Structure 1
């Protein structure tokens, strides 16, 4: 059964992701890292490239903002969701051009099963950083949870086009193949 969740506007953004330009706030060094990441066999370990991308996404010129983000991430990973929410709300209000603040708030909403709120924050993440493979795969997971299998499949394929080294997405795509779906 399909939910009435408004996935179409975000799905359209994801389909257009390869043509969209990141916001000026995105560090220019990311372009080279994404080129390197997209190689089937990068020269450096994939984990190193991914770590550099995440570090740049997490970085902010405002040190207090970075400390607030670190506290929010710690709260998320320790399950203290009530502690994480005001921190993330503060970050997106004070730094609306910080894609990772929106992405982390989308993650919190996903964990709390507030999928419509998560979609809004994913959309804002992708407006700023259309290459955000984490936000795109998050969208795919929301679609899966709500029975939008075609959108989930497409989102996972686009995330893999950006980062072809996400093996868990490959496995999920295999599970979503029409052949496997008929077997279940």
Structure 2
């Protein structure tokens, strides 16, 4: 059942989206190579080392046909690593404006907002990320972290479990789900 968006907050809207991810397809502009990498990632035993598979996924998410966009993204990543958040935000605002169909631009801005404790803005950008790339385990994990920070452990668990469906090799996420225990399992009516 759809939620009345006038009466729910950002976590509820994002949760509704997360619960519908299985019915969503990745944006057609995403590199085709991602499909094979996600098939590999779903295997219990990987053909390649985990860091190679995950690294390839992240590299493809950060790639773009426009070299200028890639250069800007590299500056964003450097800015985030060095704590230059104002500069990173300006670059990211430009990237999501100029390339609104680039999931990783939205995800990086969601990450920045998370680091700045601007959770509502982060959640909005996580939604945009997931609309374009429903397999984005980083965005799902980020949403789970926001839910924990907001003392919403059941919603966090749902997000973390969805991330594990996409990438069952996220040991840190699996540990969080284990720590949440049975007490915070969603109730199914």
State if a TM-score over 0.5 links the two structures.
yes
Which segments of structure 1 move beyond 4 Å, counting only runs of 4 or more? none
Specify whether residues 10 and 36 from structure 1 end up closer, same or farther in structure 2 by C-alpha distance, changes over 3 A only.
same
2:187 equivalent to 1:169: no
Provide the aligned C-alpha RMSD in A. Answer: 1.3
Post-superposition Cα deviations, 1:158-179, rounded to whole Å, max 9, x if no partner, equal 1011001111101111111135
Aligned residue in 1 for 2:111? 107
Q: How many residues align?
A: 177
Q: Does the 8 Å CA contact 2:10/2:124 hold for their aligned counterparts? A: no
Q: What runs of 5+ residues in structure 1 fail to find an aligned partner?
A: none
TM-score by length of 1: 0.93
TM-score by length of 2: 0.90
Aligned residue in 2 for 1:138? 142
Equivalents in 2 of 1:78, 1:153: separation in Å?
A: 31
Equivalents in 2 of 1:5, 1:146: separation in Å?
A: 12
2:122 equivalent to 1:118: yes
Greater relative contact order (Cα < 8 A, sep 6+): 1
Equivalents in 2 of 1:123, 1:29: separation in Å?
A: 23
Equivalents in 1 of 2:68, 2:18: separation in Å?
A: 31
Post-superposition Cα deviations, 1:83-139, rounded to whole Å, max 9, x if no partner, equal 110000000000000000000000000000000000110000001000000001100
